[in-house]
Structure 1
Amino acid sequence: MKTNRERILMIGAGAIAFFYCGDWAYQSFVATPLQSRQDRIDRLTSDVESREAELRRSRRAIDSLSVWQAKSLPSDSLRARSIYQNWLLEVVGRVGLVGCTVDSADPVRRQGDLQAISFSVRGRGTLKQLAKLLYEFYRANHLHQIQSLTVTPLVGQGTLDLSLAVEALIVPGAEPKEALDRNPDPQWMSVRLADYDAIVRRDLFGIGGGDTDTIDDVFLTAVTDDGRKRQAWFTLRAQGKTLRLGKGESIAVGDFQGRVVDIDAADVVIEAQGERWLMSLGENLAGAAAVPPES
């Protein structure tokens, strides 16, 4: 009886030992290698996915870089500074701001070998002209932005004193182009100047948008001479436009009807109702001085 019991215990102990040994062998030679292999596959799969994502980001960055290079100022910083400053002068002239100055600073290095050139724009104009300036600026296909805009209402004049800080970029690898892109930014193709009328209608500064000019709003802003013909540039601030008139051409503002009879380097003589009036650069029509009749 005792012998049978011992035999049963030995068989049970052997079975338990066999089970544990078998489990150890399975874990050591089957399960663990399989798990290690699966872990390695998972790591490799994750690594491949990470590299593919990095490759996609690199491709997008290359595409973005190409777009930025196309919008960039020319690679020559001196050339870039000059033509962008001229572009700003052209824009403020087209908008009709008065007393404008555009200054620039030396290029500075930024992260990634970018070069940034800062510009400052000062001038006076109506709210409608400010809206047009913003429209012209943002639809331009250049790599630039307005860093700050300071607007000060001029009490009793219905105009604003404007000060803008602008920054434009030169991207590494940009083309050495001779002129800026004249085409609008594709992202702004659907934007119209009329969309900015909401700014004027809200009259944020309480000066009125000004759609009708009077002789107080007409300024002589420039005299040009191309060697063949002189022109006087009259800025109509309320309408935000500029009249470019030669000798003998008429000017009509509100109830005023006149004709340009003489253009000097810095003065213009206008004849109206048999009298002659002298306007100098920077002056408005209301401040024109009467010219004594010739004896």
Structure 2
Amino acid sequence: MSKREKVLVGVVGMLVVLGVLYFGYSRYASAYDQRAKQLESLKQQIDREEFTEIQAIFAAQRLAIYQEHCLPEDYRTAQSVYSNWLHEKVGEAGFEDVVIKPLSGKKVGMHAEYAFSIRAKAPLARVTQFCYEFYSFDVLHKIKSIVLRPMQDSEDLEVALTVEAVGIKQVADVVDPKKQRHESLSHGKLADYQKAILARDFFRPGNKPPKLVSTTKHTAEMGKTFSYSVKAEDPDKKDKLSFQLGEGAPEGLQLSERGTLSWKPGALGEFKFNVMVHDDRQPTVMDTKEFTIAVIEPKPPETKPESKPSFDDAQHAFLTATIISGEQPEAWVSLRTKNKMLRLKPGETFEIGQLKGKIVSVGDKNVEIEIGGETVQLRIGQPLSEARGSGDL
């Protein structure tokens, strides 16, 4: 074999070897790619299954949260609980002529929807209060629609509301509105919402300021309790007025929110201070006046009056309740000897047995009564005889 033939054989051999190697590599690469695709497909399938499992876990967690913030599954229970809550809240907000009707509900999958319509009359401030309390109740409910129409010659609005709530299966416990409650909403507390909303009240004229109309110069005796009821007037008759002390008030002087000044001075002299009154509208407006109290030496003690009969109707007259009737509070006094109930408002006088007095103010659990120029407090359940001063006992 010549040299040339040997070279040709070597070249052919190398080509054969290269062809075999290429064929083998191609089969290996194809198998590798196929296996890699299978692995990628299996990985994607695992990822999908893991994602589905995570979604299921999140869905179960959401369902558990929803079940904590929804009405019971039972239709009658849910409707009764929610209807009672609505009646309570419109009452607290001061709505008038209230009509609450359940609308037709419906079941969708695992939950049921309950709808109610509310029709009433109320000023914008009370509508704002109701809406704030509505969304403070942390349950699955919403105000679907709200319509406000101004009323002629009135600050009230005609209010029409439609609300919806949700009940979920497997929920049997009745939610407690006092526990399931937001302390404040996203923009703050009720006062923050009223300040923003009522400042743009398009339904009624602008807020007129109240005016203090009381005498500003007074005399008190050192060591004896001084009491005086501060008076104020507001052109907006339905506005509620509140009083507070301003600068310069002497130590121990107190002024109730309803306007009763009380003080037991311990030194002689002339004391000047400011008294302020403001209304409950937003934005609020106010009036301020300077008051003067001249403290003098106490007067000589009066002669002790003759003894009174042992039987006194005042010993059998009890303060039984304090309520709000319309825009004014009332003190209810039960006169057991005559099987009679007296309903007294601030400023009204009364005469029961040997006791004559005047209602100064009515609080949540007590009243302030002026008897013989002295103001005393009486709690619910106490007889009126215990409201007498030490000199009357």
After TM superposition, the score normalised by the length of structure 1 is 0.68
Consecutive unaligned residues in structure 1, runs of 5 or more: 219-227, 237-241, 252-256, 261-270, 273-295
User: Does the alignment pair 1:19 with 2:11?
Assistant: no
Range that drifts further, 168-177 or 49-58: 49-58
Question: 2:273 aligned with 1:182, yes or no?
Answer: no
Q: CA deviation at 1:199?
A: 0.8
CA deviation after TM superposition for structure 1 residue 63, in Å: 1.6
RCO comparison, higher one (Cα < 8 Å, 6+): 1
Whole-Å Cα distance in 1 between the matches of residues 55 and 129 of structure 2? 37
Which residue among 345, 353, 356 is the counterpart of 1:250? 345
Which structure 2 residues correspond to residues 215-294 of structure 1 after superposition, within 5 A?
Answer: 217=238, 233-236=324-327, 243=329, 245-246=331-332, 247-251=342-346, 257-258=347-348
Task: Quote the residue 1:203 is aligned against.
Answer: 201
> In the alignment, is the contact (CA less than 8 A) between 1:69 and 1:175 conserved in 2?
no
Give the equivalent residue in structure 2 for 1:221: none
CA shift digits 1:16-54 (9 cap, x unpaired): 4433432221121x2222222222222222222322222
Change (3 A) 1:187 1:230: closer
2:344 counterpart letter in structure 1 = E
Letter of the 1:80 partner, please give it. Answer: A
Tell me the equivalent position of 1:290. Answer: none
- Farther-moved stretch of structure 1 (88-97 vs 205-214): 205-214
- Match in the other structure for 1:74: 72
Question: 3-state DSSP class of the match of 1:248?
Answer: strand
Return the offset for 1:245.
5.0
SS at match of 2:199: helix
Give the Cα–Cα distance (whole angstroms) in 1 for the partners of residues 133 and 208 of structure 2.
19
Residues 73 and 4 (structure 1), Cα distance of their counterparts in 2 relative to 1, 3 Å cut? same
Q: Which of the two has greater strand per residue?
A: 2
User: Are residues 24 and 209 of structure 1, via their aligned partners in 2, closer, same or farther at CA, if it must alter by over 3 Å?
Assistant: farther
**Residues 117 and 160, structure 2, Cα contact 8 Å, conserved in 1:** yes
Aligned equivalent of 1:34, options 13, 32, 35: 32
Inter-CA distance 249–8: structure 2 relative to 1 (3 Å threshold): farther
Contact persistence 1:70–1:175 (CA under 8 A): no
For 1:61, the aligned partner's letter is A
Distance 1:211 1:49 in 2: 69
**Distance 1:4-1:75 versus aligned 2 partners, 3 A rule:** same
* 1:130 alignment partner, SS class: helix
With over 3 angstroms needed to count, the CA separation of the structure-2 counterparts of 1:208 and 1:145, relative to structure 1, is farther
TM-score computed with the length of structure 2 as normaliser: 0.52
Question: Aligned-pair distance for 1:91?
Answer: 0.3
State the distance in 2 between where 1:217 and 1:199 align: 19
Deviates more, 1:32-41 or 1:83-92: 32-41
**Aligned partner letter, 2:168:** V
- Contact 1:203–1:209 at 8 Å: present in 2 too? no
Offset of residue 67 of structure 1: 1.5
Cα distance in 2, alignment partners of residues 244 and 145 from structure 1: 36
Equivalent residue, structure 1, for 2:149: 152
Letter in 2 for 1:129: R
Distance 2:101 2:349 in 1: 35
The structure in which a higher percent of residues are helix is 1
Pair 1:244–1:104, CA change in 2 (3 A): farther
AA aligned to 1:88 is: L
Asked if 2 retains the 8 angstrom alpha-carbon contact of 1:149 and 1:162, the reply is yes
| 1:107 corresponding residue in structure 2 | 105
Mind listing any 5+ residue stretches in structure 2 that lack a counterpart? 211-233, 240-318, 333-341, 351-357, 360-393
**Equivalents in 2 of 1:210, 1:182: separation in Å?**
37
Larger radius of gyration: 2
Which of the residues 118, 122, 133 maps onto 1:121? 118
- Identity between Structure 1 and Structure 2 (%): 24
How far off its partner does 1:118 sit? 0.6
